[in-house]
Every structure is written in C-alpha cells, then in structure tokens.
Amino acid sequence: MTSGAGAAGHSLAFRVMRLCRPSCQVDHPLLVDPSDVCNGEDSVNFKELLPGLVNGNDPGFWKRFELQEPMDAMGLSGQLVLPQTFGSIYLGETFCSYISVGNHTNHDVRDVIIKAELQTERQRIILSDNSKSPIESIRATGRFDFIIEHDIKELGGHTLVCMAVYTDPDGDRKYLPQYFKFTTSNPVSVRTKVFDLYDTTFLEACIENQTKSHLFMDQVRFEPAPPWSVTTLENEEEASESDGPISGYIKSLKLINGNGGARHYLFQLKRPPLESSDVKLEGANALGKLEILWRTTLGETGRLQTQQINGSPTPKKPLDVKMTNLPQRILIERPFLVRMEVTNRSEQFTGPLRVVMSETDDNGTPRTVLMNGLLSLMVPPLAPLASTELEVNLVAVAAGVQRVAGICLVDARDGRQVEFVPPTEVNFEALLFVANRSH
C-alpha cells in the first residue's frame, strides 16, 4: 500500500501489505498439436504421427483446434499467486494487513514506540500500541513486523495511520507518522418487500452481488424484533439418482454470481396474541434485522446486518374478534355452531355490542353462509383488556368451499360498525354425497 506521506529525514519507514487469500494463476498458452513441434504438415510421416487419422481423412489443422484435455480450457496451472495490488475492501469483511517498520540507515535507533490507528469519518480505532512496552532498539537495516486486523463496519474513506516515536543516535526524540488511505464499498445491495395476508406478514428480500467475484451464501437469517416469530420459506431440492457427488454438491451451494447476480429469500412473520402487558406494542411496526454471512471463492468470510426493517404501520384497534373453533365436518342446510372470541384491547370499558351478519356482499350477491335463528347476538360490556367467548349459530346453503364472511360487531346504541371478523374459507359437504359414502 502506498503512503500519503514519506519518511524523508527519518531513520525508520513503514511498509504495509494487505493480507488476503492468494488467487489462482491462470495461463493462456498457445495450444498446438504435439506433431507440429517436431514435424510440419508437409512431412512424409505426418499421417503416421496422427493415430486418429482413419480412412484417409484430410489431416488438416481443423482437427488440432480441439483441446486434448477438457481441463486445458480453464488455463489453471495449479499454482497460487500472492496479491499484486491492494484490491477492493468491502463492508463486512475483515481488513488484515502486514506492517513492517524498517531501519534503512547504518545506525541503530532506540526506545521505539509503534502505534497503528484506523481513522474514519466517525471514529478512531487503535489497532496496535506498544507504548507501555517500547522496543529497546531496531538495528541498522533491521525491521520490526506485526499484523493488524479489523472488521470493516463503515463505508467510505479510511485512513491507516502508522506512527513511530524513537530516539536517534544523537539522542533526539523523533516522531514519524505515515498515512495509508483506502476506500470501502458495499458488497451487496438488499431490497425488501413487506406484504400482509390476514394475520401473517411476509418479507421478501432480494440480495444482489455488487462485487466482481462470486459470493457463496453461508447463511441468510432474519432476526425478528419482539414479539414477532419467523419461519424461513425455502424450496427443498431433492437429489436426483443421476446426480453424482460433485453435481449434488454444486446444487446445494447457494451461489450469487458476480457483477449483479441476485438471489431471493422469503420469510413468514407471525405475531402472537397480545397480552395485557403488550397492548402498547400494537402500533409498533419494527419487524427485525437481516443478517447475511457469505464466503468468497477462496473462503474469505464476510458478515453484514441490515438496519431495522419496518413493516406497514399497524393501527391500534380497540377490539379484536376472531373465530376460535369450527366443526371438522359441516353439512349444508344443517345448523352448526361457531365459537368466537371478542377482546377489548383498549384501556377503557366498551360495549354493549351486537354481533350481526350481512345477507349480501358488497356487490349485492346473496351469501351462501347465513345466521340461523336470531339475526343479532348481544355482547355484554367488556372491561379493559378483558375478553369473552360466544357461540354463533350459522347454516350453509351451498356445497363446496365457501367463505364465512360478513360477520361484524356493531355498537348496540347507535349501530356503528366497530370491527369485522376476518373471513374464513370452509368446505361444506352435500347431504347426497354423505349418503352415498355411507353405503
């Protein structure tokens, strides 16, 4: 790494080399046929040198464009190469450097204090400091080496400041600072979508690779905020009998290609019923954070955690009503009971209320599930954070999968609609079908 300031007039000088995994050496040789090395195409023995020549086919150069071995196309020589440049540093990776402070003069220096500090726009981090135990001396043409490590947690410009305080042969105390600058960038971009379905929230995360190399996802985990619980939804790929050990392993890798490759993840979030102590959390919309762990092609690790992901603002409802129990088998034109639970989530008394059900939907179409008997059911006043259960008598007039919808709570005093019961799909059996199945 190049320094922003030289060490002119000083006995010591810093050299910094970034420590990272070596890369594979790739050679692009000129592939020729072995017979061309010793003999030309006009040789009289040319046909004997080509064992694949049969029936007097033309032994031209067209055949020799094919590779002798499939692995030759990769150009890998089997050797590893140390990094020739500083390279790119990404957020979430570990910055590791080899620092060498050398004495390039013909005399020794004494009482050497060495300090390495990383400066960003927000903070300064001490990476190494031996001020409590200085080095007694660094001999002429000698050096002192050490390694520093730091997890990159900020984007933008970084400055590695290497400082040395020492005593020269004249007994003067000298101070040497050297600055090494580099910039960090974001390896991935994360886009999220949040959508609600009844009492379940789904979070879709799209992770896009912004680096030039491939990224192997070790783990993509969502850490829910209280009181949410999370389930990761993934496709389970079954191994085929024709898959060998290598192809089966490749299919199991969660790879994101470089230069804009992307991968999608889906999470299912659920919130448990609120207790009395959690009633104030209803208006909160914080879902949680996404944690991403990956490896590069040579195994270097990286870790990122997103900021808090927020969902749709949840309005605080004074009442909550839901169906808690439905019969396992329901026949058409036969009354059945549905148990409902009404909860007062406010901090004051509410009620009295009535449970009513509309006979038609918003388009004026008659409903296939109706209330049986009384068209309304009274709900007594509820204390703050209290709940009550009641049974509603319903009847279905059509077979098949039908929606139980249109049930709502209204104020018994002015008829104002307070809360709707979430619709539920139920399978209703016909009487004729039941009779045939019994025979």
pLDDT above 60: residue 54? no
pLDDT above 90: residue 207? yes
pLDDT above 90: residue 25? no
Radius of gyration of the chain (CA): 37
Q: What is the pLDDT of residue 280?
A: 45
Contacts of residue 354, defined as CB under 8 A and 6 or more positions apart, other chains included, come to 376, 377, 378, 379, 409, 410, 411, 412
Pairing mode of beta strands 255-256, 215-224: antiparallel
Q: What is the pLDDT of residue 276?
A: 40
User: Which of 29-33, 72-76, 363-367 has the highest average model confidence (pLDDT)?
Assistant: 363-367
SS3 string, the chain, reads CCCCCCCCCCCEEEEEEECCCCEEEECCCCCCCCHHHHCCCCCCCHHHHCCCCCCCCCCCHHHHHCCCCHHHHHCEEEEEECCCCCCCEECCCEEEEEEEEEECCCCCEEEEEEEEEEECCCCEEEEEECCCCCEEEECCCCEEEEEEEEECCCCEEEEEEEEEEEECCCCCEEEEEEEEEEEEECCEEEEEEEEEECCEEEEEEEEEECCCCCEEEEEEEEEECCCCEEEEECCCCCCCCCCCHHHHHHHHCCEECCCCCEEEEEEEEECCCCCHHHHHHHHCCEEEEEEEEEECCCCCEEEEECCCEECCCCCCCCEEEEEEECCCCCECCCCEEEEEEEEECCCCCECCEEEEECCECCCCCECCEEECCCCEEEECCECCCCEEEEEEEEEECCCEEEEECCEEEEECCCCCEEEECCCEEEEEECHHHHHHHHC
* Segments of the chain assigned to CATH 2.60.40.10: 12-21+85-185, 319-435
Which tops the pLDDT comparison, 332 or 302? 302
Q: Kindly indicate whether the domain formed by 12-21+85-185 is annotated with CATH number 3.30.70.890.
A: no
Pairing mode of beta strands 89-90, 173-185: parallel
pLDDT above 80: residue 85? no
Q: Indicate yes or no: pTM above 0.75.
A: no
Q: What is the pLDDT of residue 227?
A: 84
What is the architecture, at CATH level 2, of domain 188-310? Sandwich (2.60)
Q: What is the pLDDT of residue 243?
A: 67
Give me the mean pLDDT over the 81-104 stretch.
87
Q: Please name the residue that has the structure tokens 């970084």.
A: 158
- CATH class given for the domain over 319-435: mainly beta
pLDDT band of 44, cuts 50, 70, 90? low
* Segments of the chain assigned to CATH 2.60.40.1230: 188-310
pLDDT digits (tens, 9 = 90+) for 243-281: 667 777 777 788 899 889 999 999 999 887 554 444 444
pLDDT above 90: residue 290? yes
User: Which of 37-41, 64-68, 298-302, 314-318 has the highest average model confidence (pLDDT)?
Assistant: 298-302
Mean pLDDT of the chain: 80
pLDDT band of 53, cuts 50, 70, 90? very low
* Window from 110-114, 190-194, 386-390 with minimum mean pLDDT: 386-390
Contact 187, 166 (CB under 8 A): no
Distance (Å, rounded) from C-alpha 149 to C-alpha 19?
10
pLDDT digits (tens, 9 = 90+) for 342-392: 888 777 888 788 888 888 887 888 888 888 877 778 888 888 888 888 888
Question: Is it true that the peptide bond before 352 is cis, omega within 30 degrees of 0?
Answer: yes
b/e 317-328 (16+ beta carbons within 10 angstroms → b): eebbbebeeeee
Distance (Å, rounded) from C-alpha 354 to C-alpha 165?
84
List Cα–Cα distances, 33 to 40, 329, 437, in angstroms. 10, 78, 78
The order of strands in the sheet holding 229-233 is 188-197, 200-209, 262-270, 229-233
Please state, for a pLDDT cut of 70, what percent of the chain lies above it. 79
Tally of residues, the chain: 439
Which tops the pLDDT comparison, 326 or 168? 168
Q: What is the pLDDT of residue 313?
A: 65
pLDDT digits (tens, 9 = 90+) for 210-230: 998 899 999 999 999 988 899
pLDDT above 70: residue 47? no
Which tops the pLDDT comparison, 6 or 329? 329
pLDDT band of 241, cuts 50, 70, 90? low
Which of 285, 185, 264, 250 shows the shortest CA–CA distance to 220? Answer: 264
pLDDT above 70: residue 285? yes
Please state, for a pLDDT cut of 90, what percent of the chain lies above it. 36
